[in-house]
């Protein structure tokens, strides 16, 4: 453990990361949250430009850090945060694409469970398929917080996909949307499985940034700075 820094991916020393952490995929969203919502902020990570900060919100210590894209990236950061830095509550706040006609642009989706096309969960070597589900304790808090913010929200199953650009192949068999899946993103299955084996609580809350149904999409700047309902919902859970 060189200089009290236990991993090569996070530059924080022990004690610099709070037990509760918000995890946007985009490190610039982590910077935006730190600058606009936290007090007494200290940056604890810039390794690989995956910015991380610790500060105060409502008098409570809170951290926020980017995780990058995909289950492997989330898998590294969430594993290290849980097992090396003692994080107990991990709240992913990210963007997702709607897979349901009733889930509109800028709606919130709270991920009760995560299906996946990734091989990440299978690499645990379980004798079957693990169901990646959120913490019920956090789910109750997230629903209450979403109602308090007045956001239009949905609770249900999402898909963690390894592919952002899905090939245009002919439909064959049952689709994810046929199974009631609300939205697609790329990280939650890894977060939920790492939380399960590490004894931590985790949940993902998304803003719908685009729709596979209508083809609508938001800009990169909107995704970075304007999805405040999602941020404020997460902060009400602290």
Rounded (5°) CA angle 194-39-209: 55
For residue 55, the model assigns a pLDDT of 98
**How far out from the chain centre does Cα 69 lie?**
10
Structure tokens at 221: 């700047």
**How far out from the chain centre does Cα 229 lie?**
15
Total domains, the chain: 1
- The residues assigned a catalytic role are 210
For residue 3, the model assigns a pLDDT of 63
Report whether 78 contacts 194 (CB < 8 A): yes
The torsion angles phi and psi of 4, rounded to 5 degrees, stand at: 65, 25
Distance CA 189, CA 148 (A): 27
CB environment 7-17: b (16+ within 10 A), e (fewer): beebbbeeebb
Neighbours of 199 (CB within 10 A): 9
Closest CA to 114 of 10, 5, 204: 204
Going from the C-alpha of 219 to that of each of 36, 94, 169, the distances in angstroms are 20, 14, 27
Rounded-to-10 torsion of CA 40, 58, 86, 135: -150
| Domain encompassing residue 231 | 2-236
Report whether 156 contacts 109 (CB < 8 A): yes
For residue 226, the model assigns a pLDDT of 67
Rounded (5°) CA angle 182-184-190: 115
What CATH number did the domain enclosing 148 receive? Answer: 3.40.50.1580
pTM (2 d.p.): 0.95
Tell me which residue has tokens 């390794």: 47
Phi-psi region of 205 (alpha: psi -120 to 50; beta: other; left: phi over 0): beta
Tens digits of pLDDT across the chain (238 residues): 556 889 999 999 999 999 999 999 999 999 999 999 999 999 999 999 999 999 999 999 999 999 999 999 999 999 999 999 999 999 999 999 999 999 999 999 999 999 999 999 999 999 999 999 999 999 999 999 999 999 999 999 999 999 999 877 656 689 999 999 999 999 999 999 999 999 999 999 999 999 999 999 988 878 777 689 999 999 999 9
């Amino acid at each position: 453990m060189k200089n009290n820094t236990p991993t090569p991916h996070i530059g924080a020393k022990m004690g610099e990361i709070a037990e509760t952490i918000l995890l946007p995929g985009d490190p610039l969203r982590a910077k935006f949250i730190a600058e606009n919502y936290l007090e007494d902020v200290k940056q604890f990570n810039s390794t690989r430009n995956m910015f991380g900060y610790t500060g105060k919100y409502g008098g409570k210590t809170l951290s926020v850090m980017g995780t990058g894209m995909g289950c492997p990236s989330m898998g590294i950061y969430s594993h290290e945060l849980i097992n090396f830095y003692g994080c107990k509550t991990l709240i992913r706040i990210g963007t997702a694409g709607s897979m349901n006609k009733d889930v509109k642009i800028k709606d919130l989706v709270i991920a009760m469970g995560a299906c996946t096309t990734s091989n990440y969960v299978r690499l645990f070597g379980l004798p079957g398929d693990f169901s990646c589900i959120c913490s019920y304790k956090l789910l109750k808090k997230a629903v209450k917080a979403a109602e308090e913010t007045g956001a239009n929200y949905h609770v249900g199953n999402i898909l963690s996909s390894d592919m952002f650009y899905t090939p245009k192949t002919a439909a064959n068999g049952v689709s994810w949307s046929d199974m009631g899946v609300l939205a697609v993103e790329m990280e939650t299955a890894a977060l939920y499985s790492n939380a399960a084996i590490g004894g931590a609580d985790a949940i993902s809350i998304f803003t719908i940034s685009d729709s596979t149904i209508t083809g609508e999409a938001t800009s990169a700047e909107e995704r970075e700075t304007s999805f405040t309902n999602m941020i404020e919902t997460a902060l009400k859970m602290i």
